[in-house]
Amino acid sequence: MNPVLKLLVEGGHLTTTQMAQVAGIPEAAVSAHLEELKREGVFLGWRPVLDLSRESAGAVRAVIEVRMTPERGGGFNRLAERLSKFDEVESCYLMSGAYDLLIFVNGPSLQKVAAFVSEKLSTLEGVISTSTHFMLRSYKEGSFLIGVPSGEADRLKVSP
Amino acid sequence: MKRFIARHVSTLPKSGIRDFFEIVSKMKDVISLGIGEPDFDTPWHIREAAIYALEKGKTHYTSNLGLIELRRAISTYVEQHYAVSYRPDDEVIVTVGVSEGIDLALRALLNPGDKVLYHQPCYVSYNPSVTLAHGVSIPVPTRAADGFALNVEDIEKAWEPGCKVLMINLPCNPTGGTCDPARLEKIARFAVEKDLIVLSDEIYSELVYDNAHTSIAVFPGMKERTIFLHGFSKAFAMTGFRIGYACGPAELIDAMMKIHQYSMLCAPILAQEAALEALRHGEDSVKAMREQYHRRRDLVVGRLNAAGLACRAPGGSFYVFPSVAATGLSERDFAYGLLDSQKVAVVPGTAFGANGSGFVRASFATGYDQLVEACDRIERFVNTATPCSAPSSS
């Protein structure tokens, strides 16, 4: 595996300088690897992992299960791509099982998210039904545990 | 009260790490490189297995030798990783860490006055364990020049009539020293020639970075004279579980079992259940942790050498053992000075025996960022401590 990709997968939130140190390659090589990954469409971009419940009251996230009618020639692609273009949509996945698309949505308030579902999403031709679940609390976000104290303080400071 | 204490206990010195620990534990904001255990918590699936076992009411004694499922898993693991096969029924005993294994083996083997060869610098318990078993310990030096590998010539030099046991710990705490198969084979031949029993503490053997690990038990004539000691503390980050094992000839294991039976009875069942999970599903976690250690090792070795402390890359373990000679300070003054002025804790090499003089042990079982900061501070300390270089002769 590309050494830089490996570090990205491990999620060590390193700067390019640190990546260079860790992987033992020059910083220019790290940048070159990153560029290559971008060109190949593997590396899509940086996003911080945030626990927004601490920052702003009122941010609302929901998971929506969507059942829809596939189209001849394109299956679910056209509709899924169209849905994905909405800014409200964080992520969108085609799923096996009881529904077809799983959509992660966020918005500033319950009303805004509800309005997106009732006005934009359910009214699209091809959408058979939606089932919206609002998220109440986050316990883990992008591999980071939330609200779980680290055990570091428990180690003895010197041991044989 | 002192008059009541047995002579061999009252004359036993306390671990050299002890006073240092007292000082460090009272200080704030210290970056400690003095910790002899992984910074990783035990992988969750292993902890969860222990919780599940507790929920299921697994709260009883086990067989003195340990759960048979665990002994089977140990047997398979040892065969796959070390190429030596032991029968789960009578050649494996589950112990409370390798420390208990060493104690059991020495007590089972030594008559008062029997001599034990061990390499030094070494783990803090080796010398006292021999004393407590009424044996006489004979240190064999290892040297920085050849990476603290153990050389048969040094063992030959130290050997004297009455030597019964050779204790080895490769990779070594505190030096990180390892031994290539060629050297190890010579040691094995010597053990056979002198009819020595070898206690091989291989607790760091999963944590090797450059070459594959070889157990001394694989060489001709060795399986029948080796007690292979291993455990879960380091590779699986399970120090607090206190769980390890010994493998060896049935008669020796049986002798160790007698002591274990009357003193410990059995290793805690929850730790045994956790160990079983570790062997069944823990390999990926070990690999991930080893990669982290490898990366940190390269960082620390590079930085210490750049700072002017001669430090070779340890072949295994999570310790570096740099020389502090360039600073003109003794290992003790270096450690205390560094702690005092830069709040970084390293352990003076003499805590691991007189041969550790001039060296300190620094553990890289600490987060990468912390290590970077610690190296910055060490560099600052070395720059202020190093005496001006002698004027060059013209």
Backbone phi, psi, residue B235, to 5°: -65, -40
- For residue A85 the two structure tokens come to 């273009």
Q: What is the pLDDT of residues B179-204, one digit of tens each?
A: 999 999 999 999 999 999 999 999 99
Sign of CA dihedral B30, B31, B37, B40: positive
Which chain B residues touch A if contact means CB-CB below 8 Å? Answer: 15, 17, 20-21, 24-25, 30, 32, 34-37, 39, 41, 123-125, 173, 295, 298-299, 345, 347, 368
**A151 → closest Cβ in B41, B298, B299:** B41
pLDDT averaged over every residue in chain B: 95
- A154 part of a folded domain: no
- A47 part of a folded domain: no
pLDDT of residue B392: 44
pLDDT at residue B82 tops 80:
yes
Residue A153 pLDDT class (50, 70, 90 cuts) = low
Distance from CA of A39 to the nearest CA of B (A): 28
Residue A151 pLDDT class (50, 70, 90 cuts) = low
Sign of CA dihedral B36, B37, B38, B39: negative
Contact B35 A158 (CB under 8 A): yes
DSSP state string for B73-94: HHHHHHHHHHS----TTTSEEE
Give residues with Cβ within 8 angstroms of B171, minimum separation 6. Answer: B177, B178, B204, B205, B207, B208, B213, B314, B315, B316, B317
Residue B163 pLDDT class (50, 70, 90 cuts) = very high
**Substitution target from A4, A143, A157 for chain B, most B beta carbons within 10 A:** A157
Q: Is A25 on the interface with B (CB under 8 A)?
A: no
Q: Count how many domains chain A has.
A: 2
What CATH number is associated with residue A72? 3.30.70.920
User: Does residue A117 share a domain with residue A62?
Assistant: yes
User: Does residue A131 share a domain with residue A97?
Assistant: yes
User: Does residue A129 share a domain with residue A72?
Assistant: yes
> Which 3 state secondary structure label does DSSP give B334?
helix
Distance from CA of A54 to the nearest CA of B (A): 25
Contact B21 A24 (CB under 8 A): no
Give residues with Cβ within 8 angstroms of B387, minimum separation 6. Answer: B327, B328
- A45 part of a folded domain: no
Distance from CA of A87 to the nearest CA of B (A): 36
Distance from CA of B350 to the nearest CA of A (A): 12
Q: Is A149 on the interface with B (CB under 8 A)?
A: no
- A152 part of a folded domain: no
pLDDT of residue B390: 42
DSSP conformation class of B171: S
What is the average pLDDT across B75-79?
Answer: 98
pLDDT of residue A96: 96
What is the average pLDDT across B39-45?
Answer: 94
User: Does residue A31 share a domain with residue A62?
Assistant: no
With a pLDDT cut of 90, the percent of chain B lying above it is: 93
Q: What is the pLDDT of residues A88-116, one digit of tens each?
A: 999 999 999 999 999 999 888 899 999 99
Please calculate the CA angle B190-B192-B193 and round it to the nearest 5 degrees.
65
Domains of chain B and CATH, by start: 2-42+284-384 (3.90.1150.10), 44-281 (3.40.640.10)
- A85 part of a folded domain: yes
User: Does residue A91 share a domain with residue A32?
Assistant: no
pLDDT at residue B245 tops 90:
yes
**Substitution target from B41, B47, B346, B350 for chain A, most A beta carbons within 10 A:** B41
- A153 part of a folded domain: no
Q: Tell me the C-alpha to C-alpha distance, in Å, between residue B387 and each of A93, B224, B303, B305.
A: 65, 54, 20, 17
**A21 → closest Cβ in B36, B299, B347:** B299
DSSP state string for B55-66: HTT--S---TT-
What is the average pLDDT across B141-150?
Answer: 95
What helix, strand, coil percent values describe chain B, rounded to 5? 45, 15, 40
Residue B387 pLDDT class (50, 70, 90 cuts) = low
Contact A156 B368 (CB under 8 A): no
pLDDT of residue B20: 84
User: Does residue A123 share a domain with residue A65?
Assistant: yes
User: Does residue A86 share a domain with residue A121?
Assistant: yes
pLDDT of residue A150: 63
Backbone phi, psi, residue B132, to 5°: -65, -25
Distance from CA of B196 to the nearest CA of A (A): 28
pTM of the model: 0.86
Contacts of B30 in chain A (CB under 8 A): 157
- A31 part of a folded domain: yes
What is the average pLDDT across B352-363?
Answer: 96
Distance from CA of A150 to the nearest CA of B (A): 9
- A118 part of a folded domain: yes
User: Does residue A117 share a domain with residue A65?
Assistant: yes
**A158 → closest Cβ in B24, B123, B125:** B24
User: Does residue A132 share a domain with residue A65?
Assistant: yes
**Substitution target from B368, B371, B372, B375 for chain A, most A beta carbons within 10 A:** B368
- State which residues form the domain around A128: 58-136
* Strands laid side by side in the A127-134 sheet: A89-94, A101-107, A60-68, A127-134
